[in-house]
Amino acid sequence: MVSSTHVGRYREIAEVLARHGLGFLSGITGLERWFPFHHGVLGHEPRGMPYTNPEHLRLAFEQLGPMFIKLGQLLSTRSDLLPPEYLQELARLQDGAPPVPVETVRRLVQQELGDVPEELFAGFDGEPLASASIGQAHAAILKDGTRVVVKVRRPGVVARIQEDLEILQNLAAQAARRWEAADDDDLTGLAEEFARTLRAELDYLQEGRNAERFAGNFAGDPDIHIPRVFWRTTTSRVLTLERISGVKIDDLEGLDRAGIDRRPLAGRAVAAIA
* Average pLDDT score over the chain: 88
Buried b (16+ CB within 10 A) or exposed e, 162-189: ebbbebbbbbbbbbbeeeeebeebebbe
How far apart are the C-alpha atoms of 109 and 118, rounded to whole Å?
10
pLDDT score at 183: 57
pLDDT of residue 22: 86
Largest Cα–Cα separation, the chain:
64
Predicted pLDDT of residue 87: 94
pTM: 0.81
- DSSP character for 76? T
How much is the pLDDT for 28?
81
CB 17 within 8 A of CB 25: yes
**Cross-strand pairs, 131:** 136
pLDDT interval class at 35 (50, 70, 90) = low
Please state, for a pLDDT cut of 90, what percent of the chain lies above it: 60
Q: Amino acid identity of 179? A: W
Every domain of the chain and the residues it spans: 102-156+203-246, 247-274
The closest alpha carbon to 17, from 48, 38, 51, 42, belongs to: 42
User: What whole-number distance in Å separates Cα of residue 273 and Cα of residue 94?
Assistant: 24
Specify the range with the lowest mean pLDDT, choosing from 95-109, 117-131, 169-183. Answer: 169-183
89 neighbors 58 (Cβ within 8 angstroms)? yes
User: What is the CATH class of 102-156+203-246?
Assistant: alpha beta
The share of the chain scoring above pLDDT 70, in percent, equals: 90
pLDDT in the model for residue 118: 94
Residue 1 pLDDT class (50, 70, 90 cuts): very low
Contact criterion met (CB below 8 Å) for 201 and 207: yes
- The pLDDT tens digits for 212-260 are 999 999 998 888 999 999 999 999 999 999 999 989 888 899 999 999 9
Q: What is the DSSP letter of 97?
A: -
Long-range CB pairs of 222-229, under 8 A, 24+ apart, other chains included: 223/268, 223/272, 224/272, 227/149
Give the single-character DSSP code of 260.
Answer: -
Mean pLDDT of all residues in 100-127: 96
Helix, strand, coil % in the chain, rounded to nearest 5? 55, 10, 35
Q: Across residues 139-148, what is the average pLDDT?
A: 98
